[in-house]
A and B are shown apart, each in its own frame.
Chain A
Amino acid sequence: QKEVEQDPGPLSVPEGAIVSLNCTYSNSAFQYFMWYRQYSRKGPELLMYTYSSGNKEDGRFTAQVDKSSKYISLFIRDSQPSDSATYLCATSEGLTGGGNKLTFGTGTQLKVEL
């Protein structure tokens, strides 16, 4: 079983739609959850970061974590063509020697069409 499962898509939506991206994870010890966005030919960039369960909102983006069901979600309101990218969910855990290990899902490719 993969530690973080994510539907790879692709997902195609019309401009203005509400997008829902989801992941599940297996390790109940995970406390930190992140969403990265990766444009084509670029490295991933952090979009949202959540600690434990709950919601976090930033502009058109809302991240949700439900630790009881080990479910991570990202909602994008009023989606724009510039949101077209691959969205990667990840969990973060500290390493004994310092630094952190990010465990990623495979990423969901999103295309927002005019």
Chain B
Amino acid sequence: ETGVTQTPRHLVMGMTNKKSLKCEQHLGHNAMYWYKQSAKKPLELMFVYNFKEQTENNSVPSRFSPECPNSSHLFLHLHTLQPEDSALYLCASSHPQDLGGTEAFFGQGTRLTVV
């Protein structure tokens, strides 16, 4: 266990459904992230939150809506997704570090299938 817990582990949803992914960390970190991992593609940063404030949106479509109520919890709300959004969604956390040199701890991921 890395200290970052994601639920659910697997999710199948229709294109008209609304669902949410949850992430929780108990590491005392203040930066939290959503990454997307698609088959045969690199992990791709989606959103960054630092001290509950969104600091990065990597041109993510609005059908993905993040929420960070506190430094320990991060959500990704999903609605009207497309089949190409099927992927492994990974949450990560780290200490905020301007110089770039800090370890990110990842959760196990949520395997999302859009049908």
Enumerate chain A interface residues (CB-CB to B < 8 A): 2, 4, 8, 31-32, 34, 36, 41-46, 49, 51, 88, 90, 92-107
**Is B108 a contact partner of A43 (Cβ separation < 8 A)?**
yes
Number of interface residues of B (CB under 8 A): 37
**Is A51 a contact partner of B101 (Cβ separation < 8 A)?**
yes
B2 to chain A, nearest CB (A): 7
* Chain B residue at minimum C-beta to C-beta distance from A41: B108
Given contacts A31-B100, A103-B42, 11 further A-B contacts (CB under 8 A): A4-B42, A31-B99, A32-B99, A32-B100, A34-B103, A93-B100, A95-B50, A98-B30, A99-B56, A101-B56, A107-B42
A82 to chain B, nearest CB (A): 18
Give Cα distance in the complex from A99 to B58, angstroms: 14
- Given contacts A43-B2, A44-B43, A105-B42, A97 and B53 within 8 Å (CB-CB): yes
A and B contact pairs by CB, cutoff 8 A, 5 listed:
A44-B90, A98-B48, A99-B97, A101-B56, A102-B45
Number of cross-chain contacts by CB at 8 Å: 98
Give Cα distance in the complex from A31 to B8, angstroms: 35
- Given contacts A2-B42, A8-B40, A31 and B101 within 8 Å (CB-CB): yes
Partner of B97, one of A49, A96, A100, A103: A100
* Chain A residue at minimum C-beta to C-beta distance from B6: A43
Chain A residues closer than 8 Å to B96, beta-carbon distance = 98-99
Give Cα distance in the complex from A103 to B42, angstroms: 8
Chain B residues closer than 8 Å to A32, beta-carbon distance = 99-101
Is residue B75 within 8 Å, beta carbon to beta carbon, of the partner chain? no
**Is B51 a contact partner of A42 (Cβ separation < 8 A)?**
no
- Given contacts A43-B106, A43-B107, A94 and B90 within 8 Å (CB-CB): no
Chain B residues closer than 8 Å to A2, beta-carbon distance = 42
